[in-house]
Structure 1
Amino acid sequence: MQYTLHQLQIFLKITQTMSITKAAEELHLTQPAVSIQLKNLQDQFEIPLTEVIGRQLYVTDFGAEIAVAAEKILAEVHAINYKTQAYKGQLTGRLKLSVVSTGKYVIPYFLSDFLKQHQGIELVLDVTNKARVIESLEKNEVDFSLVSVLPDKLMVDATELMQNKLYLVGGKDTESSKGSTHHILEQLPIIYREEGSGTRHTMERYLSAHNLKVRKKMELTSNEAVKQAVIAGLGYAIMPLIGIKNELINGEVKIIPVKGLPLNSVWKMIWLKSKAFSPVAAAFLLHLQKEKTRIIHEKFSWFEQYVAQLEA
């Protein structure tokens, strides 16, 4: 048999996603390229690895066993690479993070210098909603998670990174004036994030505390989708300032001043209290604690200035 590591990597991703299309997206390959590599791997076995019923792809029992073997082989290859780099005096290994979707505007800046300094580190980054982030942490699938709302039933330690402020946002044609009370939220069509979103959790907690009855215009599954809906004039949303910088500069959205807003929270990097850090995870935490003030000053000065302007 002459199967390649590339074929095993693709097949493993197919078994994880149960879809050639999704596997191609996650591997940043074309769908035909993934299909060809699956066929080339299949040609080396007399027993089917997968089968298609209707339009759904299924992994056979034999294919599932090959996937387990492929995962072990690829893990050993990673280990060889890490050991080679370690002998060269480099910090090596995987750094695994899960990040709430709005955290994608924050986390790259806290990773950039660290990864440049330690090029033997492989980053595994999952950007998803709060519910999935907490699930991955609870299952010990990641080293750290970035959240703005701490989990209720999970024992974690945390280091604070920077403030997170959520404002009421409308499209460019929005007319607003200072002095509006929170009751304005009952008069507007509000666009919600999906269940499990940290932004939605913070917003609903605020609405409940003030006994506000809000008309839900629609529910969307990402901050980007909400932003585009607001730009299109489909409604209003409570959104984190960190995620609308360019749209504010370009005049595509406006912040509507409301007494009682912004909603304030803090981005936190959290980890399980019982977590035994790898050398890579320990080095990253030290980097955060030493460098976060400098990073915030260099990369997020616009945020501090904009907040000061809004609150003036």
Structure 2
Amino acid sequence: MNYTINQLQIFLKVTQKKSITKAAEELFMTQPAVSIQLKNFQDQFDIPLTEVIGRQLYVTEFGEEIALIAEKIIQEIANINYKTQAYKGLLTGKLKIFSASTGKYVIPFFLSGFIEQNTAVDLVLDVTNKTMVMESLKNNQTELALVSVVPENVQVEEEIIIANKLFLIGSQPNRSANIPLIYREKGSATRAAMENYFLTHEGSKRKRLELTSNEAVKQAVIAGLGNSIMPVIGIKNELLNKQLYIIESEGLPISTEWRLIWLKGKKLSPVAQAFLDYVRKEKTRILDEQFKWYMKF
């Protein structure tokens, strides 16, 4: 057998995404290039690694076993690189953070300086909804997570980052009684806060739309499809450009706090601990430089 590290990486990504197209997008390769490398890798085995039924790609049982080995090999190669950098006196390793979706407006400002100072650190930032974030933390898929609501039934430690303020937002400054409400998907912390607010203040029987990302909700509100309770931290430009307006409402804003959390008692890796120390040291400066506009709300 004469397979390459590149082929292992491509095969592993295909098994993770169950799609050549999606694997190509993440690897910044063309679909034909991924298909060719996948075929060259498959040609070295007498047993199928994948199969296509209809238009869906499936990984065979044998393929799953090979994928596990490929993942270990790729990790060991990464460890070689980390060890090399460590001998040069550099902080090395992988910093993996799962963030609730609106956290994408917060966490990059805390990461940029840290990554600039520690060029041998690899960053993986996974942005998803709160439910998936907590599952990843409980399953030890990530050391650190960014959330705005403290999870139930999971003991964690935390570092508060910044307030999370949610207002009723519309494309017009005044609220119409007939305009529908736009909700996030189930599992979203914003969705839960919005449902609780309207149940408390106006009852639950309201016409609604449901969208699966904060960005989709934002664009729908701009288009006039409805109003929504949204974190104001994600709509700075739209407020300045008067594409969106804060609609004054009793009981708003809803205020929580963005926080980095990790499992209670967990010994963090040197990279994760170094990032946490950096956040504690630089938080005041970063908030003053990047979020001064936000503090007035």
Q: Tell whether the structures are fold-level matches, with TM greater than 0.5.
A: yes
Question: What does 1:39-118 correspond to in 2, within 5 Å?
Answer: 39-118=39-118
Contact 2:51 2:60 in 1 (8 A): yes
RMSD: 1.5
Q: Who is 2:16 aligned against? A: 16
Q: Are 2:160 and 1:160 equivalent residues in the alignment? A: yes
Contact 2:158 2:261 in 1 (8 A): yes
- After alignment, is 19-28 or 217-226 more displaced? 19-28
Q: Displacement, 1:293?
A: 0.9
One-letter amino acid of the structure 1 residue matched with residue 210 of structure 2: E
Contact 2:144 2:260 in 1 (8 A): yes
User: Could you report, residue by residue, the CA deviation over 1:133-174 in whole angstroms, capped at 9, with x for unpaired residues?
Assistant: 000011111011000011011000101000111111111xx2
Percent identical pairs in the alignment equals 61
Q: Who is 1:267 aligned against? A: 258
Q: Who is 1:294 aligned against? A: 285
Work out the CA distance in 1 between the residues paired with 2:250 and 2:179.
16
Specify which of 185, 188, 191 is matched with residue 197 of structure 1. 188
Q: Displacement, 1:96?
A: 1.1
Contact 1:12 1:70 in 2 (8 A): yes
Contact 1:163 1:265 in 2 (8 A): yes
Q: Who is 1:280 aligned against? A: 271
Contact 2:173 2:245 in 1 (8 A): no
- After alignment, is 3-12 or 84-93 more displaced? 3-12
- After alignment, is 127-136 or 35-44 more displaced? 35-44
Q: How many residues matched?
A: 297
Q: Displacement, 1:188?
A: 3.4
Q: 1:185 to 1:4 in 2, by over 3 A?
A: farther
Work out the CA distance in 2 between the residues paired with 1:161 and 1:263.
17
Q: Displacement, 1:276?
A: 1.3
Work out the CA distance in 2 between the residues paired with 1:211 and 1:120.
53
One-letter amino acid of the structure 2 residue matched with residue 52 of structure 1: V
User: Could you report, residue by residue, the CA deviation over 1:210-235 in whole angstroms, capped at 9, with x for unpaired residues?
Assistant: 35235242100000000111111111
Contact 1:192 1:216 in 2 (8 A): no
User: Could you report, residue by residue, the CA deviation over 1:30-81 in whole angstroms, capped at 9, with x for unpaired residues?
Assistant: 3222222211211222322111111111112221221111111101101000
**SS of equivalent to 2:293:** helix
Question: What does 1:177-192 correspond to in 2, within 5 Å?
Answer: 187-192=178-183
Work out the CA distance in 1 between the residues paired with 2:216 and 2:154.
30
Work out the CA distance in 2 between the residues paired with 1:93 and 1:43.
34
Q: Displacement, 1:175?
A: 4.4
User: Could you report, residue by residue, the CA deviation over 1:275-311 in whole angstroms, capped at 9, with x for unpaired residues?
Assistant: 1111111111111111111110011111113x1xxxx
One-letter amino acid of the structure 1 residue matched with residue 238 of structure 2: E
Work out the CA distance in 2 between the residues paired with 1:175 and 1:159.
35
- After alignment, is 206-215 or 12-21 more displaced? 206-215
With structure 1 as the length reference, what TM-score do the two structures score? 0.91
Work out the CA distance in 1 between the residues paired with 2:196 and 2:259.
19
One-letter amino acid of the structure 1 residue matched with residue 118 of structure 2: H
Q: 1:11 to 1:149 in 2, by over 3 A?
A: same
Work out the CA distance in 2 between the residues paired with 1:185 and 1:278.
52
Work out the CA distance in 1 between the residues paired with 2:3 and 2:267.
36
Long gaps (5+) in structure 2: none
**SS of equivalent to 1:2:** coil
Work out the CA distance in 1 between the residues paired with 2:258 and 2:20.
35
**SS of equivalent to 2:102:** helix
Q: 1:204 to 1:249 in 2, by over 3 A?
A: same
Specify which of 241, 245, 253 is matched with residue 232 of structure 2. 241
Specify which of 199, 204, 217 is matched with residue 226 of structure 1. 217
